[in-house]
Amino acid sequence: MPKVVLAYSGGLDTSIIIPWLKENYGYEVIAMAADLGQGEELAPLREKAVKTGASKIYIEDVQREFVEDYIYPTLKAGAVYEGKYLLGTSMARPLIAKKLVEIARKEGAEAIAHGATGKGNDQVRFELAVKALAPDLKVIAPWREWDIRSREDAVDYAGARGIPVPVTKARPYSMDRNLWHLSHEGADLEDPWNEPQDDMLVLITPPHKAPDKPTYVTLDFEQGIPVKLDGETLDPAALIQKLNAVAGANGVGIVDMVENRLVGMKSRGIYETPAGTVLFAAHREMELLTLDRATLHFKEGVALRYAELVYDGVWFAPLREALDAFVDSTQRTVTGTVVMKLYKGNCSPAGARSPYSLYDQELSTFSRDEIYNQRDAEGFINLFGLPLKVRAMMEQKAGLR
């Protein structure tokens, strides 16, 4: 019997895909769930997958790989999609696809399958990764083939086969959780006029219910990578988990966004990214202290392109690897300590220092100094403004002004 490896989350879509693959393709279905730090969601998966019809399930702990090989490069690049989205789902999909390919090779499977819809970005992210890593493998995307057209249809399909699912017709939110974030889409959120309700939030305390006193956290970076939280050296995943708890308790990290999907439409999502919000802000503060103006400004352009590559699923590509080489070269001096103030949803810097700081207090001071000759500014301005002066003289001579 031919085999297929399914990216399995235990959610609505992947729960019904197992029997669908058996009924329509005659495959032996092997489920694979990636442990990306989603916690208690993984506990029932092993029993549930087998009861639903999978011959076996792999649960792969990839938390450290996720942080070190996906989150950290994106953080160092400063990549934020459309100024808001910290790419929590986007970064995870290439890693899941990589593990699907590894298990397909191990099991001798001829295909992999995923539960991404034909309207979404994830289908692209999964399939581009498979094309880059295993172009011979067949990819099956049931949402592009079956007659199911809505979440409600999917709930009905599951009910007819006695498959328990974590959503109902009354609250059919689509959620994706990992160590970095938790996303919410669907139902009343599909109307951008609707404000998200407090009871939707899982990782974050609603800002108006957060403590009335600010919390300060200290982050130490080494070459752009966070290594300590409040002076404690922590495993990469543990640092994010601990910071998630602290930032979340202070209402930090809620993003309400209408974004441009790769497939051409706009969608609305609510993202909870407490630790990521603090880390991006702290990392940015560290770069402002340690990078020269030309490098910092050029890197801002790189960050935009990097974010698009990650969002679009073009992870295993020469351009991203080349950009990584540039980014890593900029991070050699991004080392030091940043204090962040967390208060009722706000996250702001409260202090920064680095042995590689380019900030010189003697140069910058408004008090008397002995090293800056203010008369030098006159010649600089004359030369810097010369093109403007020449153009203005021409316009006067030509009667244009």
DSSP 106-158: HHT-SEEE----TTSSHHHHHHHHHHHH-TTSEEE-GGGTSS--SHHHHHHHH
| Topology of the domain comprising 177-353 | Argininosuccinate synthetase, chain A, domain 2 (3.90.1260)
Predicted local confidence at residue 291, as pLDDT: 98
Which is more confident, 321 or 10? 321
Does position 169 have pLDDT exceeding 90, yes or no? Answer: no
Which is more confident, 170 or 310? 310
Pairing of strands 3-7, 28-35: parallel
CB 78 within 8 A of CB 284: yes
For the chain, where do the domains classified as CATH 3.90.1260.10 start and end? Answer: 177-353
Does position 167 have pLDDT exceeding 70, yes or no? Answer: no
Annotated binding site for L-citrulline: 85, 90, 121, 125, 174, 183, 259, 271
Annotated binding site for L-aspartate: 117, 121-122
Predicted local confidence at residue 106, as pLDDT: 98
| Topology of the domain comprising 3-171 | Rossmann fold (3.40.50)
172 — pLDDT class (breaks 50, 70, 90): low
Question: What's the pLDDT tens digit per position in 359-392?
Answer: 988 776 666 667 778 889 999 999 999 999 999 9
Question: What's the pLDDT tens digit per position in 259-302?
Answer: 999 999 999 999 999 999 999 999 999 999 999 999 999 999 99
Question: What's the pLDDT tens digit per position in 90-146?
Answer: 999 999 999 999 999 999 999 999 999 999 999 999 999 999 999 999 999 999 999
For the chain, where do the domains classified as CATH 3.40.50.620 start and end? Answer: 3-171
Does position 315 have pLDDT exceeding 80, yes or no? Answer: yes
Residue whose C-alpha is closest to residue 78's, from 326, 327, 260, 332: 327
Annotated binding site: 7-15, 34, 85, 90, 115, 117, 121-122, 125, 174, 183, 259, 271
Does position 33 have pLDDT exceeding 90, yes or no? Answer: yes
Predicted local confidence at residue 130, as pLDDT: 98
By annotation, the residues acting in catalysis are 13, 93, 122, 174
